Amino acid sequence: MGYRSVFAPDAFAGRTIIVTGAGSGIGRCTAHELASLGAHVVLVGRKQEKLAKVAAELAAEGHASTQHAVDIRDEAAVTAMVAAVVQERGRIHGLVNNAGGQFPSPLSAISKKGFEAVVATNLTGGFLVAREVFNQSMTDHGGAIVNMLADAWNGMPGMGHSGAARAGMFNLTQTAAVEWAFAGVRVNAVAPGWVASSGLDTYEDPFVREMIPMLRKQVPLHRLATEAEVSGAIVFLLSDVAAFISGEVIRIDGAASCNTKAFPLSEHSNSKPYEGFHLAKGPAILDGPKEK
């Protein structure tokens, strides 16, 4: 049993695609889907052991990959990583700018160091990777870039540092779509809402952990997204059928960003998740005590 993608099995045959933040969560899932469609995936992340685990999963299914342990906030390291990929593969066809991270906190409690760390990871680092991929490969060959945003359209209370960075990435996506179009480069983004991913288990704050199982009540589709539902949107934007889509963002939030809170949401279970990732394992926090 392998990845159950809706795309043609050879849709990315012969293509090299970099996935940052590939050691877990959405990045790991996307790497698996792209590999199942014929791509040579370059796994990028901070921890070599996590990348090695994903590479072993891919190898067990007959898919080759390359791993680079890199902190995307390190400009010199990013430049060297992209150069190494170009030297080995000859061309970079796609980039999934997925790496990111944040911690819950009210604005009044965020230090300058904490704010800058989140912006560096969620905005500056993504810019550095995209810039180097463009300058070292795509400016001559074209390609597609998909950036990672978040459902932060009406502010992001409790994570203002991440919301600010994601808003910046949205503008950067639109700017790059215009500036890099001459080279045949498309730049788009996805904006997931709440996803039933391993990242939910990393939050330690008691209030946040109590809130997570309740999140679905704010979503009109009345559930959280699966990693495969986010990956599918990313793969679509990388694919040939999206050849005239650039500067766009796909919201993957079950209509949560449209919820004005004035319209009553009904309790239901009519939205069935797409479970394409055969190795997916939901976060343990959703298996805890049932909501009241």
Can you tell me the distance from the alpha carbon of 39 to that of 212, in angstroms, rounded to the nearest whole number?
35
CA distance 30 to 226: 12
Using CA atoms, how far apart are residues 232 and 229, in angstroms rounded to an integer?
A: 5
pLDDT at position 206, please? 76
pLDDT in tens, 68-126: 999 999 999 999 999 999 999 999 999 999 999 888 899 999 999 999 999 999 999 99
Which tokens belong to 169?
């990435």
The alpha carbon torsion through 81, 83, 88, 91 (nearest 10 deg) reads 110
pLDDT at position 19, please?
98
Q: Are 234 and 96 in contact (CB under 8 A)?
A: yes
| pLDDT above 70: residue 291 | no
pTM: 0.92
Provide mean pLDDT across the span 23-33.
96
The pair of structure tokens assigned to 111 is 């230090």
Please determine, for residue 50, whether its predicted confidence score (pLDDT) is greater than 90: yes
Q: What is the mean pLDDT of residues 24-34?
A: 97
Tokens 């998909």 sit on residue = 146
Beta-strand relationship, 65-69 and 185-192: unpaired
Please list, in sequence order, all residues whose beta carbon lies within 8 angstroms of the beta carbon of residue 164, skipping any fewer than 6 positions away.
119
Mean local confidence (pLDDT), 10-39? 97
Region 132-157 average pLDDT: 95
How high does pLDDT run on average in the chain?
93
Residue 177 has pLDDT above 60, yes or no: yes
CA 200/CA 188 separation, integer angstroms: 25
* Tokens linked to 250: 């796909």
Mean pLDDT of 198-211: 74
Helix (H, G, I), strand (E, B), or coil: what is residue 190? Answer: strand
Q: What share of the chain is helix, strand, coil (3-state, %, to 5)?
A: 45, 15, 40
| pLDDT band per the 50, 70, 90 thresholds, residue 288 | low
- Confidence class for position 239, pLDDT limits 50, 70, 90: very high
pLDDT at 51 over 50: yes
pLDDT cut 70: percent of the chain above it: 98
User: Using CA atoms in the order 118, 122, 127, 130, what is the torsion angle rounded to 10 degrees?
Assistant: 150
Residue 31: is it exposed, middle or buried by C-beta count within 10 angstroms (0-12/13-18/19+)? buried
Type of residue numbered 113 = K
User: pLDDT at position 55, please?
Assistant: 98
User: What confidence score (pLDDT) does residue 62 get?
Assistant: 96
